[in-house]
Chain A
Amino acid sequence: MSTLPLISCRGLTKIYPLSGVEVHALRGVDLDIERGEMVAIMGPSGSGKSTLMNILGCMDMQTEGSYYFDGVDTGDLDARELAGLRNKKFGFVFQRYNLLPRASALYNVEIPLFYSGMYGDEVKNRALAALKRFGIDDLADHRPNQLSGGQQQRVAIARAVVNNPLVVLADEPTGALDTTNSLEVMKILQKMHIEQSVTVIIITHEPEIAGFCPRKLIMRDGKIISDQFSASDVRR
């Protein structure tokens, strides 16, 4: 095992060439996240939260700087290996759920398993078990438009964790939900963090949501300006 933290970034910079003007989305981010942490990333829009999360989830590449995940320099990986990481090590939860509209809840959860080369009954059983974990296995046949927002987000969480990832990345997971459902979703994420030591990283605007997380990062203009641990949680 590596002595490095699960996530270790040094000098992350991201520059978007936007119609001739270079937009600096990240301006040198240093960040270490240990296995099993639950972290909230806050900050105004345009502060680079989503860019950072995309790079952490191997969805995008930094312009400069290094990102070691689980001891491996992601800059050394090719597109295929990065896809494998996204499939097996990361689970993504989005504000707008991003479920395939014409597929059933069950099928949506099955897709990551297909991409990892699984087939047959194993796929179905694992997907059903994931739905059951969040109490929505009775909705397996329903299409996304037949589900409420809270139910859809639970399907999306089931899809994110069906491959037992090390890290769940949630980009404003409660942004489209009412208070009851928001709390519900946060409890689910918190439970995964506590019971299974899944590393959870959440982008949010709302302090109550961030309140679920023992560690809070605040970003501004592409930099981390604050990194605090709440008093109740002692860092392992």
Chain B
Amino acid sequence: MSVRFQVLSSFSIDALKANKMRSFLTMLGIIIGVAAVILMMSIGQGAQQQVLSRINSLGSNLLTVMPGAAGQFVRSGNVNTLTLKDAQAIAKLTGVACVAPTVRGSALATCGNKTWTTSISGTTQEITDISSLEIEQGRFFSESDVNGISAVAVIGQTVYENLFDSGADPVGSEIRLSGVTFKVIGLLKTIGASSGGDDRDDTIYIPVTTAQIRLLGTTNQSVNQVQVQVQDINQISTVQDEIASLLRKRHRLSDQADDDFNIRDITQIQNTAQNVTGILTLFLAGVAMISLIVGGIGIMNIMLVSVTERTREIGLRMAIGATRQDILNQFLYEAILLSLTGSFFGIVFGVAGSKIFSYFAKWSTAISIQAVVLSVVFALIIGVFFGYYPARRASRLNPAEALSFE
């Protein structure tokens, strides 16, 4: 078998060499297909890695408590089951490093003759640790500002750019948020976009109490979310359970009742992001595979022409002793050789293309072994699939007729 394989494949190689230009053009379909699969998958997986590393930078020892049952749409104003007092109670649990309750809203900010619509984050000073906020100028508000319901504000870079002349010192100046006057006490350093693409610098931070009472008019102390930083990352699920039982007790839920809150940890967000980017990668690869299939049809087309052209040769080979299986194998090997050689060059171009893409698009790409193996295996299957029909046709020729074929 192996010797026969060597001999028959050498016949195949000779045939492909004899028609170099045609062999190359046939391979081109496979080359482009394999290169496209590798390139698309590397772009998709690069995107995935980037998103995940951004999520990780948010901190993996964070729990986020949201009002409303899990999986339920949060209807603003309707779900107000989570309060500032809940947050204070959570802060007293063991294993909890710090807690930042947040109310969110948006407001029209005015400074002098400039106005800017921005988002308001009413929170406590713990947010600086939890969200890794850093001060560029001035200071962040303190616990006494929160307790004292002070009208002070810390602004993000985007807010600064839109409300102040560049170079102006914002600290000490006054801005009006929806008609309420606040004193700017600090300016944050640039944070950058969030994993969701939001501009996180386009935010004004004010004390949570001030936001509830003076700005948003919240009556029952409800908050939109409570972020909890856990001391030890290994304790994260224990702490999660403790928070859940604490809140059920505080909310006087009967044993049968569902939670009126939900707790997410960052791994859930990671999983979601991974799923979404995974689907994106599959979609890209699927599109690229269509071009591989088209390449396979090209192989079949050329092989059919080749069988017709070489009918006399097939007849002669049969006359001097080739079995049908020999003829079938010879043509099948030709198809497989075309797809394998094509996929080799496809890998080269795919990898090079991915490097070039990441260089010019400033978007890191990741070439995975799976992508390479997948595309080669797929190319091989295509070679066999589309090569089989012409090969079989060749092997079924009648020797006498084939030999007298003009």
Contact = CB atoms under 8 A, between A and B. Distances in A.
Interface string A66-85: 00000000000001100110
Given A60-B398, A60-B400, A79-B324, A92 B3 contact: no
A226 B245 CA distance: 112
B14 A115 contact: no
Interface stretch (A98-106, A146-154, A199-207): A98-106
A57 B319 contact: yes
Nearest to B325: A80
Contacts of A54: 399-400
A98 B316 CA distance: 7
B320 A112 contact: yes
B319 A92 contact: yes
Nearest to A55: B400
Contact of B318 (A83, A100, A117, A119): A83
Nearest to A87: B321
Contacts of B3: 117, 119
A196 B319 CA distance: 22
Contacts of B14: 102-103
A115 to B, nearest CB: 4
Interface string B319-342: 111111110000000000000000
Contact of A98 (B322, B323, B325, B403): B403
Nearest to A83: B323
B320 A86 contact: yes
A28 B403 CA distance: 24
A114 B319 contact: no
A117 B324 CA distance: 15
B317 interface: yes
A59 B320 contact: no
B320 to A, nearest CB: 4
A29 interface: no
Interface residues of B, number: 25
Interface string B2-43: 011011000000100010000000000000000000000000
B200 interface: no
Nearest to B313: A100
Interface in A29-78: 50, 54, 57, 59-60
Given A59-B399, A114-B7, A86 B318 contact: yes
A83 B313 contact: no
B312 interface: yes
Contacts of A79: 323-324
A57 B401 CA distance: 13
Given A59-B399, A59-B403, A102-B18, A84 B321 contact: yes
Interface in A132-181: 159, 163
Interface in A172-218: none
A98 B320 CA distance: 11
B321 A86 contact: yes
A116 B400 CA distance: 20
A83 B326 CA distance: 10
Given A102-B18, A103-B14, A111 B319 contact: no
B307 to A, nearest CB: 16
A36 to B, nearest CB: 23
A79 to B, nearest CB: 5
Contact of A115 (B6, B18, B312, B321): B321
A79 B403 CA distance: 17
Contacts of B325: 80
B330 to A, nearest CB: 11
Contacts of A98: 312, 316, 319, 403
16 contacts: A54-B399, A54-B400, A57-B319, A59-B399, A60-B400, A80-B325, A83-B321, A86-B399, A88-B321, A92-B320, A94-B403, A103-B14, A112-B320, A112-B321, A115-B322, A119-B3
Given A50-B404, A59-B319, A59-B399, 12 more contacts: A54-B400, A60-B398, A60-B401, A79-B323, A80-B323, A83-B318, A84-B321, A94-B403, A102-B18, A112-B320, A119-B3, A119-B6
Interface of A: 50, 54, 57, 59-60, 79-80, 83-84, 86-88, 92, 94, 98, 100, 102-103, 111-112, 114-117, 119, 159, 163
Interface of B: 3-4, 6-7, 14, 18, 312-313, 316-326, 398-401, 403-404
User: What 9 A-B pairs come out closest when comparing CB atoms?
Assistant: A87-B321, A60-B400, A115-B321, A54-B400, A83-B323, A59-B400, A112-B320, A59-B399, A114-B7
